[in-house]
Structures are given as structure tokens and as C-alpha cells.
Structure 1
């Protein structure tokens, strides 16, 4: 193990030995670390933890006030073929089977160098992180997204176990908030196992007891921390990773922008950091890891995904890619798909930025709803994976669609930011996020689609719901669709009549949650130049590294899985590097 270069840390926050950018003590001029990580999502924090666990002095710099990046907005799942948790589901998987599946899904896009490394290292990463850090995953019987392809399996997506954010101390206040609609009353979070209980609190005594306990804890959390601390989904993954790096003495700076690289005869030796208005030169003896979350909120993103809304954090403006290119890093040709697509709904408020909600699957897959284009007709299977759904919008030129549900659908399952009963929806109706009408004809007039076509579409859908067979788009015919349906809805968990007024419409736009185009790297995430040579001291992971799947999305967590895996490999490489 490499010799530690740790020095006494700045005054920490909370019970752990970690310092963050809200401290009053500031370094002046120049500071030196072994490793500097740009960005605080799962990829960068994994690299930081692995390097620190091997004895290196590590700094993580976060551009915004909040740590967590896009990971904090996500479901917190990682796509890991042949992972250690699949046997608990009765699934026997292998890297060979995963390889066959990826060959089927990717075709000519299959990277014969990186993908075998990913398949080998990903399950190793999961085991090592669970053995050495606070990170814990759990199995979930989610099928792959292309369930009919050779090599497809289930359980490759593993979800993060809930986390008690109080273990972070006051650092919890600087963890990025979840997306509105993924939590109740602002920041009261719930993992998928709790959702049926919290969306039906009066369904049983047990449901009411759990809901009451969560509300009481949430009230206490608000008094002490100003937010909920029962962390779930992507917030839980961020919380567990932050707790892990705290334990290793990693320093965390927020409000700190990486402005340019420090170059030394072709080697990246550090970064210029603008921290709360102060320029600091941060030297990195071993290397710099770019993990800034891509450039989904930059103007440049429009060259890759025109006419799209991005639901990633506002700080994702391409700092990592820019620093990589300034250091001599090479970029590949555009991928066939350059983003994680998802249909997006928008909440426009008078006193703040537009809020964006990605509709991955949980609401739009439920029965009693359809999605139509401007012509009032369905155009796709509403329950299909988000990447394919938005691709369908692109191919058919649909720039605005309408997610339509009846009273039963909304009250039982919710629609985007509109949570199920008993949570109130009046504010969202007043703000224009959700549109309601007593009947389909009136709803069509309100949203500007042809009323006869919408009425006919609803009638056709209702006939499918009665038979349980969608002869138009085959909704509910595969295991992926059914996973996100309602098992109590028979004979098809994704189909129930849409016939109980009032009726609701929610405008949807083609959108994305991250750009998947980034720097060319080798198998250890080292950035390569135009000649395929390693740029010494420079690494890129997550969305700063070009997608190993070239933008394809084989299963849930196909960004987090490779991001953590190559973050793990980068951390190990840094630990082995010569000073």
C-alpha cells in the first residue's frame, strides 16, 4: 500500500473526519494532494474512495453548493451483470451471458476492448466496495431493457440500500436534494419498497403506522437539519459514498470550479480552482480525475440533443470535457445516441428556474393511462424503457406529447410531480403543470388536440384494457413492462380502462438526464490523446468519459454501473502510480 501523505484536515463538520467548503478556514495560494477529483457524483466519489483507501491524500471539488451530481437525482441503481446479489433472486448469471446480451444489443457498436474489462471488473467492484466501504446494494428482479434479446437476464440492476443521513452530521445539508416528485413534502424520501405503503397510508394499520413513523421522523429532521435524512435511491448512494470518503479523510470542497489544468511537460499536474472567488493552484502528485457530470446544461449540448430539456444539475456545463481537451485529450465521433433519454415534464414557477421531472417508468407504466401526440393518437408503448420511448418521439417528430390519466390513475399512482392521494394537487393545477377537465372532449380542447381523435384513442385503449391485449403497441406483453405495472390489475398489469372523470393531462417533452459523450480513455480511465497515447496524470470517469455502450442503454443503471466500475479502476491505477 502506498504511503499516506495525509496532513491534519481543516476543521470538519459533523462526527466524521472530513472538511467541506463551508468551513471558514481557507487554503491560500497553493495546496498539494495526491489526487484531485472534479465532481461529486458516484463515479468521482468511487475513484476518491478507492484512492484514499489505498492511503492517498484526496481532494474532491464540487462546482455547486451541493454534493451528489446527477446521481443524487437518480434511482441509485447500477447495472452489473453477474453481480453477487443475483443468486438471492434465484438467478444464475455470468459475464459470458452478459457479453452475449451486449453483442445482441450493441451490434457493431460493441467495444471489444472495454466491455470485457467492464464485465470482469464490475462485479469485483461491487464486492470490494461492499467489503471496504459503507456502500450497500440489494437485489431487485428488474429485467434487462431488451428482454427478448439473447443473453438477457434479470437482477443485473442492483439498488442502493437506504441510508441514515444523520451519520453524515451537518454535511447532510450539502447533499443535493432529490427531484420534486421523487419525495414527499419536499425532502421526505422513500425507496421502492416503501412506495406502496406511503401511497396508500390508510390501506391498513401497518401502512398507517409506517407512514406516521416516517412523518414524525421527517418533522424532527426538519427541526435539526432543515431537510429529511432518511435517504433513498440515488440520494442514498451519494450518502453512502460521502460517508465512506469521510471515513478515509477525503477533503470535500463545494462552490469550487475547476477552471484550467496545470500542465508540466505534457503531464497534468493539478488544477486551477476558483473557490468562493479565490484562485487556488491545487497540485496533484498522482493525478486528476474528471467526473464533472458531462455537459447536459451547456449550450454545446444542443449540438448533440437539439430541442431537448435536460434534467441534470445546472452545474453540468462541461468543465471536465473542456479541461480534458485543453490537456490534449481526444474526443470520439458522435455516438449514435449521446444521452440518457427520458420524457420530461416541466413545472414553470414565477420565482425560479423551470423544474424538470424525468418520467422513467413508475408512473407512465401504470394502468389507466395513455400518452398521445399532438394528433391525439398513441405513438408507442407507454411502458417501454425511457431510452426507446424518447427515441420513438424523435423518429416521429413529436416535440410535445400528453400523458393522460383518469381520476383513478392519478389518485392511485400519481403523475409526475403530482403524488397519489392523499397528497394535494391543487397547487400543480393552479401552476399549469397538470391540466384537468370533467371529460375527454373538454380535456382535448384544453390541451389543443383534436377531440374526436382523442375520444377514439381512449375508446380503443379501453377496449384493449378489457381484453388485456394491446393489439396496437403490445403494452404489458413483456416482463419489463409488467415489472412496473400493477400486479393487482388483471389480466394485464399495464392496462385498465381510463374512464373515471375528472381526467388529467400532463405535457411531456423529449428530454434527457445526462449527456453520454465524453473523452476517449483506456481501460483504466486514463485519458488518451489524438494518437492514442496516455496523457499522464489525467483520468475521466462517468459522463466525462465516453459511454462504453456508445449511448445505448442495456438496463437500469447503465450509467452508474460503468461509472462506478471505471471510477474503481481509476482509483486502483492511481494508487499504483509512481509519484
Structure 2
């Protein structure tokens, strides 16, 4: 994966430089806020700037509507900007290019088997129909561009499972959006180099092995040189990948349609007239600005993962969702007469999370999805020094196991070869420096396994025996304890050059490293009840005129289950597309 300014790790800003600039005078920004109570009128107002809200905004604008996006923080992009940018869309147009034939029938069978009683016939039928349509329409009319990846569904042995349903976003040149690039949320530390240097994930082997060949060295020099020039010209890197690329592509599309983007603008409450939403009050610089709306308000604030009330719905403390995700959409929806869906069995996208504590700054969080912990030469143990799950298991399942077994803290252990070749969380592969992470205690190291056990506080004899047994599994290629590397999903994230099992390698070359991981999430999945067009429903199941909810403000179409990579972004963009079309059809 990939890195704020040209500083060692642990010294840069969390979201970029903490300097507030005036709103830029670009086509999709208002020039300046009025400080009085002057009313403004739009057809559509979108609350939040993640991919679901931006998709809704684009579809509505493309159909001729006047659209405003209000973002509470300075930074556009929401949790999408932190993510890998993958969208789970069965039967998409790109699967045949990787020799995969898929159908909505097979996808429906798979979801029936995965979801069981959580299967919502109407919502899932709408998703399966409109998902492929959304991909085709967005690629035809916007700057959004996807690419296929042969990633298997997360329940690989379940009937109806397939490959290639997860679409990644093609990398993007952020210079296209001009000064707006400065207001895009920074990628997570560990998913970029030096703060904002990003590359296409497919190019990582070149960048992490710069001296492996002349081609690799040339590529690394090209990437780093561009980054240095970008920092001089723009204050940050402009090559965008992963979720940042998806946000960049959506923002460029909105610019072209003249959509207004207001940052530092918190949505307060809707205005209701005769049961219909006719306006929205927005707070900026100490002033409340009433806005009229002719078509509707779209809640897309990213859920409530950073709100204290998240503890009522999630069985753990830590989240890697964007700092602005404090439940504005949920609150506004309820105040407007909307109803919450019944609680899901799992109300969040779970992921193991490591923490970097920098004095005087917010704690930085890194979600360990799969790329590092699935690689050979590493294992994860509980406080007793013993393994407790297949380290390569999908993140939802892995954290669910931590919950079930009562593990509140675990230790991701790797040897020198593993760290230098693959990285561990925010500690990137060689030649990137790790001394700041060691100094701040994010990463622990010791010359021997017994010394490492003492440092992290697990029983020495247990950790030694665990690693001895693990190394014997690596030698044969068969994990007799948790079957790591035995299925297609595990192997996708392994190292195909390692035989006989791409996920298993001996942890035997010192020094040895460990980092603490905790059960966490990257967003909530519980929210407002909606219909197939993402209209918010009241307690009786009737739509509230002029009010929509998409993304993590809308209750999960999968009832909190997670069938494949991008099972939040895929439905978020799909129902954003449907909401945009509904708004375009609606009467004033």
C-alpha cells in the first residue's frame, strides 16, 4: 500500500496541513458565504461528500437539476477517501474481460445463502438490477472509470459465489480538479507514502522493490519526482489511487456539471411544510443559512461511527471512519419523521485496527483489511500467545471471531523478511523508514521470539510453541489449525511466488516485529429505513416527500452482512444512482 509532506512517518498531519484556506473560486464552489440569513434555492441538496452522496449529486445534475453538496468538515471525500475504492457489483460489464461469466440469478442465489432471513427481496432486486446499470451509465456520462480485479466473493464456498464482482477505480490525475485537490481528504497513513504519494496498487511491487530491475528503478524515480514537483506546486501529491481516485473522479464530474460544493458547512435540520421537506438549514462561520429545496434533501453523511452512540450498536471502541461521521444524517432523518430500520445482527463493517498515538494529535487508525496480514512470514496471536483464527480470513469474519472469543487486543507478529517485503500496517516495506513508528511504540521489535513475547506481554513459552508449530505448517504448506491459504480468497491476497502455500511462510529471521491490533470498524451499517429509490420511510413505511438517505445513512441493503469487497460502496453508489433518477422524475 502506500504515503504528508516529505517527513518521516508519524510526523505529518492527520488530514493534511492544519491551515484553513478561503473557499476556492472554482466552478463547483460558491465564491463566498453570505453572513446574513439570505435564502438560497436549489433543486437538490446533498448532505455529505462520500461516493454515495457525490453519485446522487452527479446523476441529479446530469438531468438538469441545480445541486448543492454540503460537507461539514474542510475535507471532501468522507470515508470513501480512506478506502480502497472497491464497489461490489454483481454481473458488471467488466467481468467478461477477466473471463468471468456472471448473472443476477447467481448473485441472488449467493445472497440468499449468505443472508438467509436478512434477504430483503425488494431492496436486493433493485440493487441487482441497477448496479450494472449504474456502472455503465456512470462510465458513459462521468469521469468515473472502473477496472476489474479477480477478487473472489468473501464466502467462496457458498453456492452462487463468483469472482470479479468487486470493481476497483482507475487511478486519476488530481490536477484535473485544480485547486480543489487541496480540499480532498488525505488517504490514511499506511495507504500512501510521505502523506499523499499514491500509486495504483498493481504497481506496488515495482515501488517496493526499486532496485530489483532497471524498470523498477526508473518507475520509482518517476513517481517520486512527480510527487516532489506536486508538493512544490500543490502542497500535496496529485496522483490519486484507490478511494481517493474515486472521490477525485466524482468531483471532476461535478465540476463539469456546475455543482456547488460547500465545505465547513454543517447541516442542522430540514424545513418541513405539510409533511414535505422543502429546505435545509446549514451552519457556517457562526451563522445559520436557510436554504430552500424544490426536489429534495439527500442524507449521505457517512453514518455515525465517530459518534459516542456508536457504542450502543457496535461491540468495540475503535473506528477508522472519517472524523465527520458523527450521525448527522441519522439525527436529521429522525427529526424529519423518518424511522430507523430494525437493528442488524452486525451494524458495522468490521476490521482489525492498529493505532498510532502521536502526542498532541488525534490517534491515527489503520484498518488491516488483508494486504499485509495475509502475506507469508506473519501470524496473529491473542493475549495468551496463541493463534485464534485464520489470519487471511475476510475482515468481517476475523473481527467477528475476536468478538466471539472475547479478544480485545491481539498481536500481529512478523519477521524481518515479512516486514521488509510486505510491510505491517503503517510500517511500509523497505526502503521506507520505520524508526518513528518504533520510537512511538506503534511497532515493537526484539532480536528473539522470547524477547518479543516479554515486550508485548504474552507468555513466552506459548508464543515460542505457537511459532514453532506455525513454521512446521509453512514447511508443508498446510495449516492444520486454521486452514490458512486453503481457499481462493486467501490465496488472492497471498504471494504467488511463495510455494507451496502463498499465505504461509516461516517466521524465523530476526529481528522480530509485533504491532497491537484491536477489534474495530471502518463504518456503521445501521441507518434509516428506505425504499428502493432510497426515500426515507416513516414508522408506517410511507416515504417522506423530499427526503432521501444513501450510503451509510441508509440501512444496509444486506442487513449488516458483508458478501464481498466493496459491499458498502457498491450499494451506496447504486442507490445514489437510483435516488438521483428519482429526484429527476419527482414533481416540485
- For normalisation by structure 1, the TM-score amounts to 0.97
How far the C-alpha of 1:24 sits from its partner, in A, is 3.6
Match of 2:519 in 1: 510
Q: SS at the partner of 1:322?
A: helix
Match of 1:275 in 2: 284
2:583 to 563, 569, 574: 574
Q: SS at the partner of 1:193?
A: helix
Structure 1 pair 284–24 and aligned structure 2 pair: CA distance change class (3 A): closer
CA RMSD for the aligned pairs? Answer: 1.0
How far the C-alpha of 1:194 sits from its partner, in A, is 1.1
Q: What are the equivalent positions in structure 2 for 1:325-404 lying under 5 Å apart?
A: 325-404=334-413
Q: Deviations over 1:448-477 (max 9, x none)?
A: 000000000000100000000001000000
Q: SS at the partner of 1:281?
A: strand
Distance, in Å, in 1 between the alignment partners of 2:557 and 2:315 is 22
Q: SS at the partner of 2:441?
A: coil
Match of 2:85 in 1: 76
Q: What are the equivalent positions in structure 2 for 1:152-167 lying under 5 Å apart?
A: 152-167=161-176
Q: What are the equivalent positions in structure 2 for 1:88-103 lying under 5 Å apart?
A: 88-103=97-112
Match of 1:552 in 2: 561
1:66 lines up with 2:75 in the alignment: yes
Q: SS at the partner of 1:105?
A: helix
Provide structure 1 residue ranges, at least 5 long, that are not aligned to the other structure. 1-10
How far the C-alpha of 1:242 sits from its partner, in A, is 0.4
Q: Deviations over 1:36-94 (max 9, x none)?
A: 00000000000000000000000000000000000000000000000000000000000
How far the C-alpha of 1:19 sits from its partner, in A, is 1.2
How far the C-alpha of 1:25 sits from its partner, in A, is 5.1
1:179 lines up with 2:188 in the alignment: yes
Q: What are the equivalent positions in structure 2 for 1:131-142 lying under 5 Å apart?
A: 131-142=140-151
Q: How many residue pairs are counted as aligned between the two chains?
A: 566
2:300 to 291, 316, 323: 291
- Conservation of the 8 A alpha-carbon contact between 2:378 and 2:415: yes
1:321 to 322, 327, 330: 330
Q: What are the equivalent positions in structure 2 for 1:145-156 lying under 5 Å apart?
A: 145-156=154-165
Distance, in Å, in 1 between the alignment partners of 2:480 and 2:99 is 33
Match of 1:426 in 2: 435
Match of 1:54 in 2: 63
Distance, in Å, in 2 between the alignment partners of 1:343 and 1:52 is 38
- Conservation of the 8 A alpha-carbon contact between 1:342 and 1:513: yes
2:550 to 541, 553, 558: 541
Match of 1:3 in 2: none
Q: SS at the partner of 1:113?
A: helix
Match of 2:29 in 1: 19
- Conservation of the 8 A alpha-carbon contact between 2:51 and 2:246: yes
Match of 1:224 in 2: 233
Q: What are the equivalent positions in structure 2 for 1:205-224 lying under 5 Å apart?
A: 205-224=214-233
Structure 1 pair 330–257 and aligned structure 2 pair: CA distance change class (3 A): same
How far the C-alpha of 1:27 sits from its partner, in A, is 6.9
Provide structure 2 residue ranges, at least 5 long, that are not aligned to the other structure. 1-21
Q: What are the equivalent positions in structure 2 for 1:248-263 lying under 5 Å apart?
A: 248-263=257-272
How far the C-alpha of 1:314 sits from its partner, in A, is 1.1
Match of 1:5 in 2: none
- Conservation of the 8 A alpha-carbon contact between 2:350 and 2:520: yes
How far the C-alpha of 1:275 sits from its partner, in A, is 1.4
How far the C-alpha of 1:277 sits from its partner, in A, is 1.8
How far the C-alpha of 1:307 sits from its partner, in A, is 2.9
Distance, in Å, in 1 between the alignment partners of 2:33 and 2:277 is 27
How far the C-alpha of 1:527 sits from its partner, in A, is 0.3
1:124 to 120, 133, 147: 133
Of 550-559 and 304-313, the range deviating more from structure 2? 304-313
Distance, in Å, in 1 between the alignment partners of 2:78 and 2:165 is 23
Distance, in Å, in 1 between the alignment partners of 2:367 and 2:133 is 31
Distance, in Å, in 2 between the alignment partners of 1:32 and 1:353 is 37
- Conservation of the 8 A alpha-carbon contact between 1:13 and 1:169: no
- Conservation of the 8 A alpha-carbon contact between 2:41 and 2:293: yes
Distance, in Å, in 1 between the alignment partners of 2:434 and 2:280 is 47
- Conservation of the 8 A alpha-carbon contact between 2:377 and 2:507: yes
- Conservation of the 8 A alpha-carbon contact between 1:12 and 1:18: no
- Conservation of the 8 A alpha-carbon contact between 2:35 and 2:287: no
Match of 1:4 in 2: none
Q: SS at the partner of 2:121?
A: coil
1:565 to 574, 581, 585: 574
How far the C-alpha of 1:278 sits from its partner, in A, is 1.6
How far the C-alpha of 1:17 sits from its partner, in A, is 2.4
Q: Deviations over 1:423-460 (max 9, x none)?
A: 01000000000000000000000000000000000001
2:311 to 275, 283, 302: 302
Distance, in Å, in 1 between the alignment partners of 2:185 and 2:194 is 16
Distance, in Å, in 2 between the alignment partners of 1:296 and 1:13 is 30
Distance, in Å, in 2 between the alignment partners of 1:385 and 1:356 is 19
Match of 1:412 in 2: 421
Q: SS at the partner of 1:188?
A: coil
